[in-house]
Amino acid sequence: MTVSANRTSADAPTARPYDPFIAAMGSVATGVTVVATDGATGRFAQTVSAMCSVSVDPRLVLVCINSRSPINEAIQANGTFTVNVLGSHHDHVADTFAGRPWPGKEPWDFTCGEWVPAPSGAPRIRDAVASFDCTIHQMVEAGTHRIYIGLVADIETHGGEPLIYSAQTYAKPLPVLPSVFDDYPGSGPTYRKNTKENAK
Ligand SMILES: Cc1cc2nc3c(=O)[nH]c(=O)nc-3n(C[C@H](O)[C@H](O)[C@H](O)COP(=O)(O)O)c2cc1C
């Protein structure tokens, strides 16, 4: 993983008292998504790193959203949402939909990023690395957060380099070469594509 040289508001120090749980979670590297919904209550989108695959058949993904976020009411009213996997060129989109807009932009400003409607009507980022259009399969209250398990109705993929978030810093992926052990020459899995030979 390489760390972007450009500092963004995502690495701004927070005034929160030290919490070992939050500190340990900060050391985890995640992808970055924006969850978005649209309907009678208006358009909402929020930056969410707590996203993962749940099931292949049926196709299910989950996202965890703070119960205090206004997007909860909108997702539940609309019954649909998209999960947009951001690319490394979307750091400003991640900031904007985390309520940290760049100069000249409002928080949660849909002029940041190119938004198009997904089949469900929820907004989707046109050039997201991947975008999942979901209906609510299940909602679970879990402490401070709500877990939405989305049934995936439509998928778009555009490829590209995913944005990574770790230690309050945006980053991008860098392949790791297989470890080398002098006592076991030639050892190591053959399925790893990024060998020293391939890297030349
Ligand atoms: C990279 C990144 C990842 C985030 N991941 C989550 C998440 O998984 N779930 C969540 O509820 N909030 C997450 N947030 C925070 C929300 O985006 C943010 O709290 C929300 O937009 C409301 O902004 P506010 O806390 O300034 O009111 C994340 C923020 C950033 C910058």
Residue nearest to atom 17 of ligand 1 (CA): 98
pLDDT at residue number 142: 98
Nearest Cα to 8, choosing from 174, 173, 172, 171? 171
Domain that holds residue 180: 2-9+20-199
pLDDT at residue number 197: 55
The number of folded domains in the chain is 1
Instruction: Tell me the best of 48, 51, 63, 164 to mutate to test the pocket of ligand 1, counting ligand atoms within 8 Å of each CB and taking the most.
Output: 48
Q: How far apart are the CA of 11 and the centre of ligand 1, in A?
A: 13
pLDDT at residue number 183: 83
pLDDT at residue number 2: 33
Residue type, 120: S
Tell me the backbone φ, ψ of residue 153, rounded to 5 degrees: -100, -25
The tokens for 100 are 């940290």
CA distance 11 to 167: 8
**3-state class (DSSP) for residue 73:** helix
Would residue 95 count as lying in a domain? yes
Domain of 146, CATH number, reads 2.30.110.10
Ligand 1 atom at shortest distance from the alpha carbon of 97: 21
pLDDT at residue number 99: 95
Q: How many CB atoms lie within 10 A of CB 159?
A: 9
CA distance 170 to 168: 7
Would residue 15 count as lying in a domain? no
The tokens for 54 are 């749940």
Strand order of the β-sheet with 80-85 is 44-48, 33-37, 80-85, 130-142, 145-157, 60-66, 51-55
Q: How far apart are the CA of 48 and the centre of ligand 1, in A?
A: 6
* pTM of the full structure: 0.88
Would residue 167 count as lying in a domain? yes
Would residue 14 count as lying in a domain? no
Walk along the chain (200 residues) and give the pLDDT tens digit of each residue: 333 333 344 444 557 899 999 999 999 999 999 999 999 989 999 999 999 999 999 999 999 999 999 999 999 999 999 999 999 999 999 999 999 988 888 888 999 999 999 999 999 999 999 999 999 999 999 999 999 999 999 999 999 999 999 999 999 999 888 888 888 777 776 666 665 555 44
Contact (Cβ atoms closer than 8 angstroms) between residue 79 and residue 151 = no
